[in-house]
Amino acid sequence: MENIVRFPDKNSEEKAALQLPRIIGHRGAAAYAPENTLVGLHTAADMGVKWVEIDVKLSRDGEPVIFHDETLERITGTSGSVAETDWKDLKQLDAGAWFSEGFVDERIPHLEDALSVILDRGLGLNLEIKPCPGREKETAEVALDWLSRIWPEEDAPKPLISSFQAVSLEVSLLMMPEYPRGYLMAADLPETLENWQDRAAYLQATTVHFDRRFFAAEDGVMMSSLAASHYPLLCYTVNDAVEAEAMFDAGIVSVFSDRPDILDDL
């Protein structure tokens, strides 16, 4: 089952259609394979997932790499940060052993390699621009430059670009206005909540992506604000089928899940 979201198309007076599935694989299929890896993307595709979400940030020498954390320790077991490490060294690190012995020697992917797998497997893409502090503009510029050169203009759904960083989304609006944008909100990032509707409107957001804690909150204040906005809403990270169904019943378009097989109809 898919939901159709419409957004402005710079090449037409009509609005383009963005067909989003109910379930989007979070960092690939993060409960079943190491997050943000090529094997994770293949695992998601093998499960029948139609769209995946991945994170991109820059190495010290400006290469776009698929990685979530600022620091390397959780995923690679080594000290240091992505921002302080060159790509030639990052690509030597093991990004799979932490998950299980079956994924030893899985590497941190370059954006180019991740896009190749995503296109080869016929997946839709939500690319989250997740810059290291101070590199919000540069990360978006580099990632979008690579994306614009690799992603086909036809025969693939336009990638959905999302970020918690307004600067990164502003770059996306300026560089690739034809790509839909997702405004990201988090309970522990108050800057994403303050005047969020004005910020989303300024950035010409197509979708709004919100923290599942808002849905679970007893006061319901944030969900009331989101529902009243009439933006297509996407929620992260939902790993329970009952909760996912409750969200769909409430009008949520899609949920991001580490376990994208929680529902039979992906």
* Domain span including residue 227: 2-257
Domain annotation covers residue 262: no
Q: Which two tokens stand for residue 152?
A: 């086909």
Domain annotation covers residue 265: no
> For 210, how many CA atoms within 13 A lie in the half-sphere containing its CB?
25
Give bridge partners of residue 189 from the DSSP assignment.
186
Weakest mean pLDDT among 66-75, 127-136, 148-157: 148-157
pLDDT of 192 above 90: yes
Q: What is the CATH number of the domain that holds 135?
A: 3.20.20.190
On average, the pLDDT of the chain sits at: 94
Domain annotation covers residue 200: yes
Q: What is the number of domains present in the chain?
A: 1
Rounded to two decimals, the pTM is 0.94
Domain annotation covers residue 264: no
Angstrom CA distances, 238 to 81, 229, 247, stand at 28, 22, 10
Over residues 72-101, mean pLDDT = 98
Domain annotation covers residue 227: yes
Note the pLDDT tens digit of each residue in 1-33. 566 665 555 554 455 678 999 999 999 999 999
User: With left for phi above 0 and alpha for psi between -120 and 50, is residue 171 left, alpha or beta?
Assistant: alpha
pLDDT of 62 above 80: yes
Domain annotation covers residue 162: yes
Domain annotation covers residue 62: yes
Q: Which two tokens stand for residue 90?
A: 């990052």
Domain annotation covers residue 172: yes
Cα(114)–Cα(201) distance, integer angstroms: 30
Contact 56, 130 (CB under 8 A): yes
Is 112 strand, coil or helix?
A: helix
* Percentage with pLDDT > 90 across the chain: 89
Note the pLDDT tens digit of each residue in 198-231. 999 999 999 999 999 999 898 899 999 999 999 9
